Amino acid sequence: MKSQNDVEGDRRRFVERFGLLLTEAGMPRMPARVFAAILADDEGRLTAADIAQRLDISPAAVSGAVRYLIQVGMVVRGREPGARRDDYRLHDHLWYEVYAYRGEMLRRWEQAMAEGAALLGSSPAGRRIEETREFFAFLREELPAMMERWRERQAKRSGANGPGSTTGGSPA
**Radius of gyration from C-alpha coordinates of the chain:** 20
Is the pTM higher than 0.85?
no
For 4-90, the fitting CATH number among 1.20.58.100, 1.10.10.10, 3.30.70.1140, 3.10.20.30 is 1.10.10.10
Q: Where are the domains of the chain?
A: 4-90, 94-161
DSSP 8-state assignment for residue 91 = P
CB 90 within 8 A of CB 45: yes
Instruction: Give residue-wise pLDDT tens across range 114-160.
Output: 999 999 999 999 999 999 999 999 998 998 898 889 889 988 988 87
